[in-house]
Structures are given as structure tokens and as C-alpha cells.
Amino acid sequence: MLQLHHSLPTARHHSCYSRVWVSRAAIAISLLLVTSPSLAQTQSSNCGPLENGYGPYDHRTDKDKLPIVLVAHFTPEVEALVRGNTTTQPGGDIDYTLRAIPNNPRALVAMMRLGQKENTDKPSGSRYTVECWFDRAIRFRPDDQVVRMLYSTFLANNARKPEAVQQLEIVLKFTQDNPFTHYNVGLVYFDLGEYGNALTQAHKAIDLGFTRPELREKLLAAGKWEEPRAKPESAAVEPTGSASAPQRP
């Protein structure tokens, strides 16, 4: 699966976030974004309000509010889809976790995996479809790049590549000079078969000092790697006119 670096901690008790990022995911993946109009209009009305009895809280900033939810509802067994903790099925506890912390990336991955495991859009114990949880997370925090990259993976795994690419374009529009994001977007592009875009992001990450080899190795194995072009050395500029130092006789 796609290993997004320095963003998502590794989950215990299951080998990886499954074959989708779950097609290779565990992402890491900083913006002022606008939700895709089509998604906002077609999904939001069916995906419920964000208000919740507890929260909602941002998993990136509300650190003191999260343990009470995670300890009770998002245990390692729940995350690994082994069993529920406060409900009979893990879906019920993941549902509560995402209502309280809509942009929790590991809970989003777990809900994706549960949908795949059960081969359904609406996993057992979940009041919403898997896609609705992404709709809610993006409405809650449009600037969360990890959420958008996970959503891109979800879309790709549902044969919706143009929408998946659109999410990555939104991320890149606001990424600026974050090498981790460029690198991780490159990994997602690679999984989408967008090798040219993956190469571009690999070069940008390298230029910004991020030298992890996995993306380069993937592109090499696919026969798509090219070394970055050397930057031209800036030529020295001779002072001219009135700016020149006076010449001694």
C-alpha cells in the first residue's frame, strides 16, 4: 500500500491500511480549500449535519479532547476490524469516532476497509455510506490534505479516476513548499498510473530536500524515472553605471 510519510501513525494489530491505501495507503499528507461543488450538492444533504453530542473536534489540533473517544471507541481491535468495543460490530465504534472526530485519518481508513471487507457502500453499524464520511470530513476541515488524499484513493478504487485526480489538484494548489505533501501526492499519482505527475512531484520533493527513495524506486521499476535536471548556475552580475565603485587614477 501507499506509504504516506510523516502523517499517519502505523496502526497496531493489522499489517497495513490495506490495499487501497487500501490500494497502498497510509498517508501523510496544509490549505484553505473549497469542497467540490458536485460533492457538496449531491452528498451533503444525505450525509447529515456535523453537530454531535461530543465535538466535533479536529484530530490535528484538539488533542486534549480526543483520548476519551479513542480509548472507548477506536481501540486496536476496532481499527483492525476484529470486533466492536461498545457495540457488537466495529462499524458502530468507527461511526462514533468519525462523528466526534470527522477528520481522523485512521478511522476513515478503517471505515474504507470495512466497506471493502463487507463489499458494501454502507458498512454494518455505520449510519452513513463510506463516501459520506469523506463528505463530512471535508465539510468539517476543507484544509485537511490527508483527508483529501485518502478520498482520492477511495475514488480511484471506485473507478472514479478523474475525481481522484481533482482532489490531488486541490491539494497541490495550496501545498506551497511542503516536501512531505509533494512526495505523498506523488505516491498517490503513481498508484493512479499518472507517472508523469508522479515524477514531477518526486522532483519537487527532492528539490525541497526530501530524499526518501520509495517513490524513485517505484518509478524506476515502472521505467518512468528521469533524473532531475541540474539547475543552471546563476551568472555573476557586474556592477554598472552609477552603482559602480569609483576607479582610482
Percent of the chain as helix, strand, coil, to the nearest 5? 50, 0, 50
pLDDT for 175: 85
Cα distance between residue 198 and residue 121, in whole Å: 29
- Locate 206 and state its grid cell: 527532492
What tens digit of pLDDT does each residue of 96-113 get? 999 999 999 999 999 999
Share of the chain above pLDDT 70, in %: 74
What tens digit of pLDDT does each residue of 109-148 get? 999 999 999 999 999 999 999 999 999 999 999 999 999 9
What tens digit of pLDDT does each residue of 172-212 get? 988 888 999 999 999 999 999 999 999 999 999 999 999 99
Point out the least confidently predicted range of 41-55, 65-79, 94-108, 196-210. 41-55
C-beta of residue 117 within 8 angstroms of C-beta of residue 81: yes
> Closest by alpha carbon to 154, among 195, 125, 189, 113?
113
Which pLDDT band holds residue 171 (cuts at 50, 70, 90)? Answer: very high
Q: List the CATH code of the domain at 1-34+142-228.
A: 1.25.40.10
Tell me the pTM: 0.77
What secondary structure does DSSP assign to 202-243, as a single string?
HHHHHHTT---SHHHHHHHHTT---PPPPPPPPPP----GGG
pLDDT for 41: 39
pLDDT for 18: 40
Cα distance between residue 6 and residue 162, in whole Å: 27
Cα distance between residue 199 and residue 114, in whole Å: 32
* Helix (H), strand (E) at residue 197: helix 195-207
More confident residue, 35 or 103: 103
Domain borders along the chain are 1-34+142-228, 39-141
